[in-house]
Structure 1
Amino acid sequence: MGNELSREEYRKNKMAAMNEEEEVKEKKPKSRESKKKEQETGTSRRRRFPIWLRLIVIVVLMVICLVVGAVIGYSVVGDGKAGDVFKKETWTHISDLVNKDK
């Protein structure tokens, strides 16, 4: 009698697992019809992090990396003062060194 209960429990657990697998398989990519229906009803999913905001974040990060790189390059590698990177005279001097006549 004890084996029959465990068999019944086993069968219930197996059926539950099969149902879960079927639910996972049923989640397929949306077809064109469902996307069109979402557009008509206005129930489409919105992005949590919009593309325009991603672009702004990327540009800001690029500027930060440029400034940090200039500060490290000028102060650590070039043995200058870190604050001098933000002065116009420093960049005109660097420009003159790069573009000097040979």
Structure 2
Amino acid sequence: MTNELERRTQQPDATPRKRRRRRTEEPQSDQPIRWVQLRLIPIWLRIIIVIALFVGVAVLGLTIGYSYIGDGEAGGALKWSTWQHLLDIMEGKEN
């Protein structure tokens, strides 16, 4: 018994080699696993994309509405003279 106790208390001269542990099971804990999500598109770029899509859809809607529904030219919806004419009508000015 005493020899066994002495062997346990004695420190070895060389430091023990570190061994790699094989992970066979996931560590069990009470905390749920959190997924880390990386943003592929930054928020500022998302805002710019949304604004660009909004402008594109508005231009497309104006063009379709002016050319097909209003019987005008497709490019006429984007001319300043068309908008000036609409503003004049709203203000009550006559041509």
Q: Shorter-chain TM-score: which interval?
A: 0.5 to 0.7
RMSD: 3.0
Q: For the residues of structure 1 that align with 2:47 and 2:84, how far apart are their CA atoms?
A: 31
Normalising by structure 1, we get a TM-score of: 0.54
Which structure 2 residue ranges, 5 or more long, are not aligned? 1-24
Bigger Rg over Cα: 2
Q: For the residues of structure 2 that align with 1:96 and 1:72, how far apart are their CA atoms?
A: 23
Any idea what the Cα deviations from partners look like across 1:31-86, whole Å, max 9, x if unmatched? xxxxxxxxxxxxx8641111011001000000101100110111111111111112
3-state SS of the aligned residue for 2:66? helix
Which structure 1 residue ranges, 5 or more long, are not aligned? 1-18, 31-43
3-state SS of the aligned residue for 1:28? coil
Higher helix residue share: 1
Normalising by structure 2, we get a TM-score of: 0.58
- Counting matched residue pairs gives 68
Which structure is richer in relative contact order (CA contacts within 8 A, separation 6 or more)?
2
Calculate percent identity across the aligned residue pairs. 38
Runs of 4+ in 1 over 4 A off after TM superposition: none
- Quick check: 1:54 aligned with 2:59? no
Aligned mate of 2:76, from 70, 84, 89: 84
